[in-house]
Amino acid sequence: MIYEFRTYDIKPRMLGEYQAVVDKALAGGRTKYSPLFGYWYTEFGPLNQALHVWPYKDLEERRKIREQVGSLGYWPPPSGPLLAGQASEIVFPAPFNDEGIKGDQGPVYELRIYTYGTGDIPKVIDAWGKAIGERRKHSPFIGAWYTEFGTLNKWYHMWAYKSLEERARVRADVIARKIWPAPGGPAPLKQENKLFLPFPFSPLK
């Protein structure tokens, strides 16, 4: 299984128009060809960004599906004039992810992106695997993924919260009780985060 993280920079004041264009295109049947994991827009962090995440069996399935939907006439959505930039990254899921997660988990989603030292990702997976069971009791764990192409040694993880206040409370609690960060894992070299809200058409709300 692979996941494609597509990040689009939307021109200022165009978010509503972008939402309408994508909503119409998705209604045409894009998800009949492969499922959409989630579709969000930034509320904190880099503004006017949209993140959509698509799972595929492998790179060959991704190629075939993108070729199929590209001939339909409604996908990709005609959003080009609304965009200032696009980026795509292929990531692999951590072995402890719940691939079937969906529904009302948020509405606040935090994506944290860590960069680790060479050879550290297996150590992260090991440490998280031992600790994630307890951590996920405190807020929904959406998933963790790591890069094998492009910029290496990156670790994505996403969490859902009912509000910003719940996020602050949960994080303070798990840190104080030494539940999290995962004990025994290596320290990242770099950290960044983004807070998202879901579009109405996102499978994860």
Angle in degrees, CA 196, 117, 50, rounded to 5 = 20
Q: What residues form DSSP beta bridges with 113?
A: 156, 192
For residue 168, the domain's CATH number is 3.30.70.100
- 49-58 pLDDT, tens digit each: 999 999 999 9
User: What average pLDDT does the segment 4-23 reach?
Assistant: 98
Model confidence over 173-196: pLDDT tens digits?
A: 999 999 999 999 999 999 999 999
Distance between CA atoms of 141 and 6, rounded to whole angstroms?
20
203 lies in some domain: no
pTM listed for this prediction: 0.96
- Quick one: pLDDT at residue 73? 85
Residue 63 pLDDT > 90, yes or no? yes
Smallest Cα–Cα separation from 149: which of 7, 5, 43, 26? 5
**Nearest-angstrom CA–CA distance, 77 and 189:** 37
pLDDT the model gives residue 72:
84
Average pLDDT of the segment spanning 136-165: 97
The domain total for the chain is 1
Average pLDDT, the chain: 97
Structure tokens at 197: 């809200």
Q: Is 171 helix (H, G, I), strand (E, B) or coil?
A: helix
pLDDT tens column, 103-116: 999 999 999 999 99
Residue 193 domain-assigned (yes or no): yes
Q: Look up the domain containing 172 and give its range.
A: 2-198
What are the residues whose beta carbons fall under 8 Å from the beta carbon of 138, sequence distance 6 or more? 170, 173, 174, 179
Residue 127 lies in a domain: yes
How far is Cα 103 from Cα 95, in angstroms, rounded to an integer?
21
Pairing of strands 2-10, 49-56: antiparallel
The Cα–Cα gap between 110 and 191 comes to 13
In a domain, 46, yes or no: yes
Q: What is the structure's pLDDT at 71?
A: 85
| Residue 14 in domain | yes
Within a domain: residue 204?
A: no
The pLDDT, as a whole number, for residue 2 is 98
Predicted confidence (pLDDT) per residue in 64-80, tens digit: 999 999 888 889 999 99
In the predicted model, what is the mean pLDDT of residues 105-128?
A: 98
- Does residue 57 belong to any structural domain of this protein? yes
Q: Give the separation between CA 108 and CA 93, rounded to whole angstroms.
A: 21
As a whole number, mean pLDDT of residues 5-22 equals 98
pLDDT over threshold 90, residue 89? yes
What pairs with residue 44 in β-bridges?
A: 195
Does residue 32 form part of some domain? yes
pLDDT value of position 166: 98
